[in-house]
Amino acid sequence: MSIFRRNPDPIGPLDYARRFWLRAIVAVTLFFLYAPIIGLMAFSFNDSRRNVVWRGFTTDYYVKFWNNDSLMLAFANSLTIALMTTVVSTILGALTAYVLWRYRFPGKAVYEGGMALPIVIPEICMGVAMMVFFARIGWPAGLPWPINLGSITIAHIAFAFPFAAIVIRARLESFNRELSECARDLGASEYRVFRDVVVPHMKPGLIAGALLAFTLSLDDFVITFFTAGPDTVTFPVKIYSMVRFSVTPEVNAASTVLILVTLVVTAVALWVQNRNNMIGKSAH
């Protein structure tokens, strides 16, 4: 019936979406956020070496990327490191979060603050520190794949697990302690309480933490740059070295693949988390 109305409604106090200024701000924000990324993806299909003007559609550069052994190795390195980092960081993060949430012990505040250090320390400092550290303890070089990725993986775990711990800790805050008392009352041991009641509640946090660790590790450049050797180049480091020569569509193609991997992982994690939230809604 609103079609027949002569005068449209005046803009109500809460009709934010209808105010020009807000629309403009949103539009500009979205433009600067996504235009470069969409441009990058579009130009990965550009049939031109120089990559400045559009010269027609091609998937040649994806084929090139696929056939570029050093780029593929870097890609495999990155995925391997990210997967190992994810598994270890999530477990370490979950245990850290549980200990900080469940127990009271002397120096807890100090420990909690110390745990957050890798988050606040500038990445460049952490990178240099890691490099010096591994050089100092004489970490062996030239090991076979994938053991040679050990030092990078350790560095990644060191900075990624606090993020996982914080996310999981936040999730635990919403846990109703009567649930664990109830399980105990019904005859469960401490371990069974953890397994049957606490972990199911933590699950969305575990997934979010894992996702965070995965993307942090996959995207990391600074720390990796300092800990990577000639045989252990990761995808972001490889792209950086390619860009130093020239920005070819191959770089665009490689970047697009990296973005897609991240997007797919994020989407899957969000989907799983959403499903879990539906179940965990009535926890209180």
Partner 1 sequence: MSDAPIIQIKNVSKLYGGTVKAVDGVDLEVKRGEFFALLGPSGCGKTTLLRMLAGFEVPTGGQVIIDGQDMSNVAPNKRPVNMVFQSYAVFPHMSVEQNVGYGLKMERRPAREIKERVAEALDLVKLGHLAKRMPDEMSGGQRQRVALARALVKRPKVLLLDEPLSALDAKLREAMQLELVRLQKTVGITFVIVTHDQSEALSMANRIAVMAQGKVQQVAPPAELYEMPANRFVADFIGKINMIEGDAVAAGDGAVRVTAPPLGEVTLSGTATGKVALAVRPEKIFVDEKEPADPALIKVKGKVGEVAYFGSYSNVFFDIGLGQPLQADISNLSRDIEEYTFKAGEEYWVYWRKSDTLVLGD
Q: Which residues contact 262 (CB under 8 A, 6 or more apart)?
A: 215, 218, 219
For residue 90, the minimal CB distance to partner 1 (Å) is 19
Q: Shortest distance, CB of residue 204 to partner 1, whole angstroms?
A: 11
CA proximity to 282, closest of 151, 134, 174, 192: 174
Whole-number minimum distance, CB 104 to partner 1, in Å? 13
Q: Residue 193 CB, nearest distance to partner 1 (Å)?
A: 9
Cα–Cα dist 182/152, whole Å? 44
Q: Which is nearer to partner 1, 59 or 176 (CB)?
A: 176
Nearer Cβ to partner 1, position 130 or 197? 197
In angstroms, give the least distance from the CB of 272 to partner 1: 14
Question: Rounded to the nearest whole angstrom, what is the least distance from the CB of residue 102 to partner 1 in the complex?
Answer: 14
The residue (of 15 and 181) whose beta carbon lies closer to partner 1 is 181
Which residues is 205 bridged to in the sheet? Answer: none
Q: Which residues contact 204 (CB under 8 A, 6 or more apart)?
A: 171, 273, 276, 277, 280
159/164 Cα distance (integer angstroms): 10
The pair of three-digit structure tokens given for residue 127, joined into one six-digit string: 């990178």
With respect to partner 1, which residue has the nearer C-beta, 204 or 209? 204
Output 47 or 178, the one with its CB closest to partner 1: 178
Residue 163, strand partner residues: none
Q: In the complex, which residues of this chain contact partner 1 (CB under 8 A)?
A: 176, 178-179, 181-189, 192, 196-197, 200-201, 278-284
- DSSP secondary structure code for residue 103 in this structure: -
Task: Please give the backbone phi and psi of residue 57, each rounded to the nearest 5 degrees, phi first.
Answer: -85, 135
Smaller CB separation from partner 1, 101 or 139: 101
Place of tokens 């130093």: 244
Cis previous bond, 146, omega within 30: yes
